[in-house]
Structure 1
Amino acid sequence: MAFDRSELDEMVERWLQANVDGEKAGDWRNLAEFYTPDATYGWNYGPKDDFMAVGRDEIRDFAIGFEMDGLDGWTYPYQSWVIDEKTGDMLGLWKQVFDATRPDGTRYALEGIQGSWFKYGGDFQFRWQRDFFDYGNVVALFMEMITDGVLTDGMSARMNRVANAKERLPGWYPLGKTPVPMW
């Protein structure tokens, strides 16, 4: 299904503004309205786990709620977009940057390539989203932040929730076992 390029460009502008609004609030649940009711949103969590939210409610409550809670002070500035109006595929490349600075004055930021692959569904909504980032760099960055003592209380609580979970957290699945295919 082909889409009008101006509609896709407007979708990007709406999405970027909603992201800025979420960053300012430290709560990205406002993004849920950008997904179709049956949309899926997933990513890989390293060598053993994948994450997948199925449906707008799980996307709001788990992917951009539970998984993002505690990440206040982080921004995700998009660097570039690749858009295919013939297929509705949209690739947004972003950075993940914390507002604290290292002793050398640089910001704590995730290195490597991060991005989101979206499938547009029309009516200013995504049918699905798949994020990609270097999990090893995430672990290294968070370990550096722990060592430097710059974690916020929210980030500490988020990390403790994951580390101390007695069972799988909502949306977490064994590698390759998500309810819908990752790719």
Structure 2
Amino acid sequence: MADFDRAELDEMVRRWLRANRDCEAAGDWRPLAEFYTEDATYGWNYGPKQEFMAVGRDEIRDVAIGLEMDGLDGWSYPYQDWVIDDRSGNLIGLWKQVSDRKRPDGRFYSPEGIGGSWFRYGGDYQWSWQRDFFDFGNVSALFLDMITGNALSEGMQQRITRATSGEKLPGWYPIGEAPVPLW
């Protein structure tokens, strides 16, 4: 395995965190696409039957951090910690997902459990791939709580309508049929 410069990896994380904060403030994550190589892949599992995969920077921008993040304006994803392997170029960022809407008890809507992203560094301050992980059960429970608590924004309502329309959504595949495997 190749060795990576630790200072460069630390700088990548610093740049990534700054860009994430800027995108959260703007309510648009599409500018993050510049942090991926042209041929990067970005995917995640969504329960026992589906997975998501975007292939290439354009699909990452337009679908993974575009269409899939639309409706989540006002949400934040504060990173809690990082694990950095300068030998392999693998980085794991652990984050929370926090809505700007509050529960009746005053807490922000946020799924319980751990969320994170596993990145592979591709050089030149870009990721060559990203795989997200989160607790599907807790995320599902959160959205159900938000629906029954009438806490969905209009954008979130549109996301749910799109997801439950029955039409094939870009980037979504039955388990094992994505153009690039998760692992």
TM-score tier by shorter-chain length is over 0.9
* Larger displacement relative to structure 2 (96-105 or 31-40): 96-105
Q: Deviations over 1:98-140 (max 9, x none)?
A: 1111111111001111000000011000000000001111110
Q: Which runs of 4+ in 1 moved over 3 A?
A: none
| RMSD, aligned CA | 0.7
* Structure 2 gaps, min length 5: none
- Structure 1 distance, partners of 2:87, 2:148, is 48
- 1:150 maps to a residue whose letter is A
Matches within 5 A, 1:34-183: 34-166=35-167, 168-183=168-183
Matches within 5 A, 1:3-14: 3-14=4-15
User: For 2:42, what is the secondary structure of its paired residue?
Assistant: strand
- Structure 2 distance, partners of 1:15, 1:28, is 12
- Structure 1 distance, partners of 2:176, 2:114, is 22
* Structure 1 gaps, min length 5: none
Aligned length: 182
- Structure 1 distance, partners of 2:57, 2:3, is 24
Q: Deviations over 1:20-72 (max 9, x none)?
A: 11111111001000000000000011111000000000000010001000001
Report the CA distance between 1:165 and its aligned residue: 3.2
User: For 2:4, what is the secondary structure of its paired residue?
Assistant: coil
Report the CA distance between 1:181 and its aligned residue: 1.2
| TM-score, length-scaled by structure 1 | 0.98
